[in-house]
Amino acid sequence: MKITIIGTGYVGLVTGACLAEIGNDVFCLDVDQRKIDILNSGGVPIHEPGLQEIIARTRAAGRIQFSTDVEASVAHGEVQFIAVGTPPDEDGSADLQYVLEAARNIGRHMTAYKVIVDKSTVPVGTAQRVQGVINEELAKRGLAGSAQHQFSVVSNPEFLKEGAAVDDFMRPDRIVLGSDDDEAGMRAREKMKRLYAPFNRNHERTLYMDVRSAEFTKYAANAMLATRISFMNEMANLADRVGADIEAVRRGIGSDPRIGYHFLYAGCGYGGSCFPKDVQALIRTAAETGPGLRILEAVEEVNHEQKEVLVRKITKMLGSDLTGRTFAVWGLAFKPNTDDMREAPSRRVIADLLARGASVRAYDPVAVDEARRVFNLDLGHEPAQLARLHFTATQDETLSGADALVIVTEWKEFKSPDFVHLKAVLKSPLIFDGRNLYEPEAMTELGIDYHSIGRPHVELSESTVNASSNA
């Protein structure tokens, strides 16, 4: 099947590559010439495990191409996926300008029947708006109502986790497809059913519903996951105050099959391209249509405050003025296996440390280049602070002479470091762990002053420090 993907971000590029992998002829469009040049030269503008290999295979086989040619992209695909960004507007609502411009381009150039697929995360009612702007463009061409220029708009939201997006697409737990129940909608449904048939061979994974319900499903799913995270973070903060261990609590409640273990890890807040903006968009939608969403308003507020929890722990111990101190920071991306810095907790943690006079040496396995770009934007108005931020090529380079280690992202390579070496090169044996990677008792035995989220802090005794120093 001939497929066009409009937008080569996380969703568009993964969707296009995976559909090409199973045999489709895919045309990927982007207005950013830089991205297209990178892709045509064999590179990939984002970090996503397995993606570069799929693109290399499908390019060699002639099943995927990358271009900025809008007219050619519309002519190519009988199915047109709109997978452009929907960033939050100033009021928190989803900015649909790129979605609607993609739709206008389809209306300007289409010459045959098309299925237009909203793959971007969009508010309820977007499919209707997409249909409206395409009809406007057809009317300008004198083609409104033309049998040759019929089209259908369907909603097919993505459920891809950054860092595991390829696996999520190739082995989906569900495929949500929203279409109208009229003749045109049924025609589009059959075409999408054929497109997704390879993913349904073992059992039917497609959930068919109306368009508005499909649009809402994506937001509701992300809002639920964000709620679980903020709930556990609030429980962790309370556990800190009452002396409970949030990890023991997590195991205790996660064993209940009605709850489960997913998204119950306490930490220093969520980030990324989805949860923050989707929660904001739902809150805005509610405000526009009636009573607000009090739970989601609290979820957002808790997450905002949780990104300050590590610095609160640091200042409680070392004082609010951190001038002259140096902190090693491990982890910059908002989660492992991605270089995405959007809403990453590290941005708040590092900015707060710098604002208090500290110097920071930071490391991330893949996100350093993106982090350097982001912090140049974030701190460009504070050159003195920016001068105290340094990025290193290895995690070990961050440690020498640092007053403490701060862990923000749970990359695998951080889970089992050489603690004896770590303790030897740090100015003081002090760790602030925003992801609860280590066991407090083991750290105490090593003579490391270890502060985590929602777990009792064990003060080091003089005998413990001496024993560990002599080990």
Strand partners, 360: 327, 389
Nearest C-alpha neighbor of 218 from the set 156, 280, 173, 294: 156
Distance, CA of 144 to CA of 150 (rounded, Å): 9
Q: Is 85 among the annotated ligand-binding positions?
A: no
d(CA 407, CA 180): 48
Pairing of strands 64-67, 389-391: unpaired
CB-side exposure of 343: number of CA atoms within 13 Å? 19
Cβ count near 38 (within 10 Å): 16
- CA distances to 51, 223, 239, 453 from 235, rounded to whole Å, are 37, 18, 6, 10
Name residue 64's beta-bridge partners: 26
Q: Is 35 annotated as a binding residue?
A: yes
Q: How far is CA 181 from the centre of its chain?
A: 33
- Would the annotation count 86 as a binding residue? yes
Would the annotation count 218 as a binding residue? yes
Burial label, 45 (beta-carbon count in 10 A; 0-12, 13-18, 19+): middle
Q: Which of 18, 28, 268, 274 is catalytic?
A: 274
Distance CA 86, CA 268 (A): 25
Are the CB atoms for 132 and 138 separated by under 8 Å?
A: no
Binding site annotation covers 162?
yes
167 is in an annotated binding site: no
Q: Is 227 annotated as a binding residue?
A: no
- How far, in Å, CA of 132 to CA of 140, rounded? 13
Distance CA 253, CA 248 (A): 9
Is residue 252 part of an annotated ligand binding site?
Answer: no
Q: How many alpha carbons lie under 13 Å from residue 434 in its C-beta half-sphere?
A: 31
263 is in an annotated binding site: yes
CA–CA separation, 165 and 162 (whole Å) = 5
- Any catalytic annotation for residue 28? no
Q: Is 29 annotated as a binding residue?
A: no
The sheet carrying 25-29 orders its strands as 64-67, 25-29, 2-6, 79-82, 114-118, 151-155, 175-178, 206-209
- In total, the chain counts a number of residues equal to 471
- On whether the CB atoms of residues 352 and 308 are closer than 8 A, the answer is yes
Does 215 carry a binding-site annotation? Answer: no
Q: With 0-12 CB in 10 A as exposed, 13-18 as middle and 19+ as buried, what is 88?
A: middle
User: Annotated binding residue at 159?
Assistant: yes
271 labeled binding residue: yes
Query: Annotation-wise, does 160 bind a ligand?
Result: yes
- Residues labelled as active-site residues: 274
- Give the residue ranges of the annotated binding site for NAD(+): 30, 35, 86, 121, 162, 277, 342
- Give the residue ranges of the annotated binding site for substrate: 159-162, 218, 263-267, 271, 335
- Give the residue ranges of the annotated binding site: 30, 35, 86, 121, 159-162, 218, 263-267, 271, 277, 335, 342
